[in-house]
């Protein structure tokens, strides 16, 4: 039994996994159970104001621990770096394009966005980096599944919306992409573009069955990013981005960013080293940014969040 959220994208991702398992093991029956998470239920509240981690995963993890499902398919960027006791990431799939992209029905690109353009996004990470690049932009909170966001963009007269390229491509919306956000402007969310299949750590049979879907190169890169995030203790309430890329010589470049909620202060850094030291590179990058002032930024954000002012 595969567990998933009920959005169009989540179902696409889970059915993608299901279809591959059915090809590998045609004699077995694979069923999908849809489970609504906290993040799915509270669509009228910015994620940063809901608070807590695992907003899109907790209910799925409860179902895993209760034995109602055997595996849960997540967008890796939604999965907290600390998992409940007894659960593990069984497999990580090959990464789709990790960039953020601009969608518009007005044929607007990043360079042609007018002054004061109204752009929809649900992400503090995107807001902070975009404001740092273009303080004049009006960034509007926008939540819901991809179809809902596109419809809200049109009804609200927004100039465009920013989404993860991976989801847009998986749903076949390539023609709606008007531009990609260069990494120099906006680093993606940790793990963006990859899928994580989570399950019970003692379920060795399922872990073995999932190995053909596991992509080790992607797993190593996102391990660096998740070690970076774990060291900073971040979640959806904090503007943190990261991207790890490996070359053909076994070397990894990890870029990371920490910003304040308004995008007035932004720190970027990168670390390079052997792919085999991915997690250590993530921890080193976090320590470097903290020492440069990132720790103070995070402390200020934590204070505002505790006081109920986490939404930006």
Residues annotated as catalytic (active site), given as ranges: 78
**Residue holding tokens 């601009």?**
102
Residue 248's CB: how many other CB atoms inside 10 A? Answer: 5
CA distances (Å), origin 310, targets 45, 218, 261, 288:
12, 32, 8, 25
Closest CA to 260 of 102, 137, 87, 128: 128
Nearest Cα to Cα of residue 198 among 82, 120, 280, 290: 82
User: What region does 212 belong to: left with phi over 0, alpha with psi -120 to 50, or beta?
Assistant: alpha
Specify burial of residue 38 (Cβ count, 10 A radius: 0-12, 13-18, 19+).
Answer: middle
For 152, the token pair is: 């809200």
């Amino acid at each position: 039994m595969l567990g998933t959220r009920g959005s169009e994208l989540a179902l696409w991702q889970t059915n993608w996994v299901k279809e591959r398992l059915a090809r590998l093991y045609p004699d077995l029956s694979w069923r999908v159970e849809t489970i609504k998470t906290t993040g799915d239920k509270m669509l009228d509240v910015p994620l940063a104001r809901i608070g807590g981690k695992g907003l899109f995963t907790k209910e799925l993890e409860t179902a895993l621990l209760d034995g109602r499902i055997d595996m849960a398919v997540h967008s890796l960027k939604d999965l907290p770096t600390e998992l409940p006791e007894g659960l593990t990431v069984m497999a990580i799939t090959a990464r789709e394009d990790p960039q953020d992209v601009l969608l518009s029905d007005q044929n607007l690109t990043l360079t042609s966005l007018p002054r004061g353009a109204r752009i929809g996004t649900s992400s503090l990470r995107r807001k902070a980096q975009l404001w740092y690049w273009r303080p004049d932009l009006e960034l509007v909170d926008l939540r819901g599944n991809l179809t809902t966001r596109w419809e809200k963009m049109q009804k609200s007269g927004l100039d465009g919306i920013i989404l993860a390229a991976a989801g847009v491509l998986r749903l076949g919306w390539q023609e709606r992409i008007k531009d990609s956000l260069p990494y120099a402007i906006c680093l993606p969310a940790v793990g963006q573009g990859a899928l994580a299949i989570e399950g019970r750590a003692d379920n060795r049979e399922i872990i073995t069955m999932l190995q053909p879907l596991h992509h080790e190169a992607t797993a190593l890169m996102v391990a660096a990013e998740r070690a970076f995030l774990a060291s900073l203790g971040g979640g959806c309430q904090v503007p943190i981005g990261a991207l790890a890329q490996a070359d053909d010589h076994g070397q990894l470049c990890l870029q990371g960013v920490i910003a304040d909620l308004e995008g007035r202060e932004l720190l970027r850094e990168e670390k390079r080293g052997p792919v085999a030291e991915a997690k250590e590179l993530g921890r080193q990058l976090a320590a470097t940014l903290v020492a440069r002032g990132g720790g103070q930024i995070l402390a200020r954000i934590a204070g505002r969040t505790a006081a109920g002012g986490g939404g930006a």
